[in-house]
């Protein structure tokens, strides 16, 4: 794996983690979250 691939994978993992965190924030803020998207396990995203 070269540097460009590594950076691309890190960017993808970061995006997945941000989405996971945003779903957790929505859940805490009593906003609707799809049942299958409820963040239960921190290792569910690519970064975790």
What SS3 string covers 1-48?
CCHHHHHHHHHHHHHHHHHHHHHHHHHHCCCCCCHHHCCCCHHHCCCC
Residues 27/33, Cβ–Cβ less than 8 Å = yes
Tokens for 4, please give them.
Answer: 């460009």
pTM of the model: 0.73
Q: What is the pLDDT of residue 7?
A: 97
| C-beta atoms surrounding 20 within 10 Å | 20
Tens digit of pLDDT for each residue in 1-42? Answer: 899 999 999 999 999 889 888 988 998 998 888 888 777 776
The domain containing residue 19 runs over which residues?
Answer: 3-44
Predicted pLDDT at 25: 93
* Buried b or exposed e, range 31-42, using 16+ CB within 10 angstroms: eebeeeeebeee
* Per-residue confidence band for 48, with pLDDT thresholds at 50, 70 and 90: low
Question: Per the structure, how many domains does the chain have?
Answer: 1
């Amino acid at each position: 794996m070269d540097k460009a691939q590594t950076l691309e994978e890190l960017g993808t993992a970061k995006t997945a983690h941000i989405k996971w965190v945003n779903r957790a924030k929505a859940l805490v803020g009593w906003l609707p979250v799809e049942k299958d998207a409820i963040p239960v396990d921190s290792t569910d995203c690519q970064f975790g």
